Amino acid sequence: MIKCGLALLLWVMAVGAAAQAPPNILLIIADDMGIDMSRCHALGKDGPALPNLQALCASGLVFDNAYSAPVCSPTRATIMTGRYGFRTGIGAALSPRGSKGLAADGSSLFDVLGRTAYSSALIGKWHLASGDQGLDHPRQLGVKHYFGIYSGAVRDFFDWDAIDNGQSVKVSGYATTVLTDRAIDWVGAQKQPWFLWLAYNAPHAPFHLPPTALHRAGDLPTDAASIRANPRPYYVAALQALDSEIGRLLASLPADARRNTWVIFIGDNGTPGQIARDTFGPQRAKGSIFEGGTHVPLIIAGPGVKPGRASGLVNTTDLYATIAALAGAGAGTPDSVDLTPVLKGGSSTRSHVYVEHFSAQRARGADVLGWAIRDARHKLVVPEQSAPMLFDLQMDPLERTDLLAGNVSSASLQKAHELREAYDKLRKSHP
Task: Tell me the CA distances in angstroms from 230 to 235, 380, 410, one per residue in order.
Answer: 10, 34, 45
In angstroms, rounded to a whole number, what is the distance separating the alpha carbons of residues 343 and 352?
19
Give domain 21-357's CATH number out of 1.10.230.10, 3.10.20.740, 3.40.50.2300, 3.40.720.10: 3.40.720.10
pLDDT in tens, 52-63: 999 999 999 999
Residue 122 has pLDDT above 90, yes or no: yes
In 5-16, which positions are buried (b, 16+ CB within 10 angstroms) versus exposed (e)? Answer: eeeeeeeeeeee
Q: Does the structure show a pLDDT above 90 at 96?
A: no
The structural domains of the chain, with segments of one domain joined by +, span 21-357, 371-428
pLDDT at 15: 35
Between the ranges 41-45, 329-333, 383-387, 393-397, where is the mean pLDDT highest? 393-397
What number is the average pLDDT over the span 391-419? 98
Angle subtended at Cα 183 by Cα 140 and Cα 24, rounded to the nearest 5 degrees: 80
Residue 185 has pLDDT above 90, yes or no: yes
User: Which range (1-10, 158-167, 239-248, 355-364) has the least confidence?
Assistant: 1-10
Q: ∠ CA 351-357-363 to the nearest 5 degrees?
A: 155
Q: How far apart are the first and last CA of the chain?
A: 63
pLDDT at 151 over 60: yes
Residue 261 has pLDDT above 50, yes or no: yes
**Pair 352, 374: CB distance under 8 Å:** yes
- Rounded to whole angstroms, the Cα distance separating 274 from 286 reads 10
Beta bridge partners of 357: 370
Q: Which is nearest to 267 in space by CA: 43, 90, 87?
A: 43
3-state secondary structure of 163: strand
Which stretch of DSSP H or E encloses residue 297? strand 295-301
Residue 6, pLDDT > 50, answer no
Predicted local confidence at residue 350, as pLDDT? 96
Backbone φ, ψ for residue 315 (5° rounding): -120, 155
For position 302, what pLDDT does the model report? 98
Q: What are phi and psi of 333, to 5 degrees?
A: -135, 165
Can you tell me whether residue 315 is helix, strand or coil?
Answer: strand
Please give the pLDDT value at position 131: 74
Helix (H) or strand (E) holding 416: helix 410-428
Strands, E, within 184-279: which ranges? 194-199, 261-267
For β-strands 159-164 and 295-301, DSSP reports them as unpaired
Asked if 94 contacts 337 with a C-beta cutoff of 8 angstroms, the reply is no
Q: Which of 311-315, 345-349, 359-363 has the highest mean pLDDT?
A: 311-315
The answer to whether residue 88 scores a pLDDT higher than 60 is yes
Mean pLDDT, range 169-189, rounded to an integer:
98
- What's the chain's average pLDDT? 93
Cβ-contact 314, 298 below 8 angstroms: yes
The C-alpha atoms of residue 373 and residue 380 are separated, in whole angstroms, by 5
Please compute the mean of the pLDDT values over residues 272-298 and round it to a whole number: 96
Dihedral Cα 248, 30, 292, 224, nearest 10 deg: -90
Output the pLDDT for position 57: 98
What is the chain's alpha carbon radius of gyration, rounded to the nearest angstrom? 22
Nearest to 113 by CA among 262, 327, 265, 321: 327
Task: Specify the DSSP element, H or E, that contains 172.
Answer: strand 167-172
The reported pLDDT for the residue numbered 196 is 98
With a cut of 50, say whether residue 2 has pLDDT above it: no
State the Cα–Cα distance between residues 127 and 299, nearest whole angstrom: 23
User: What residues does 308 pair with on adjacent strands?
Assistant: 61
Segment 154-164 mean pLDDT = 97
Q: Give the pLDDT of residue 100.
A: 84
Strand order in the sheet with 295-301: 167-172, 159-164, 146-148, 119-124, 194-199, 24-30, 261-267, 295-301, 61-67, 308-315
pLDDT class for 97, splitting at 50, 70, 90?
confident
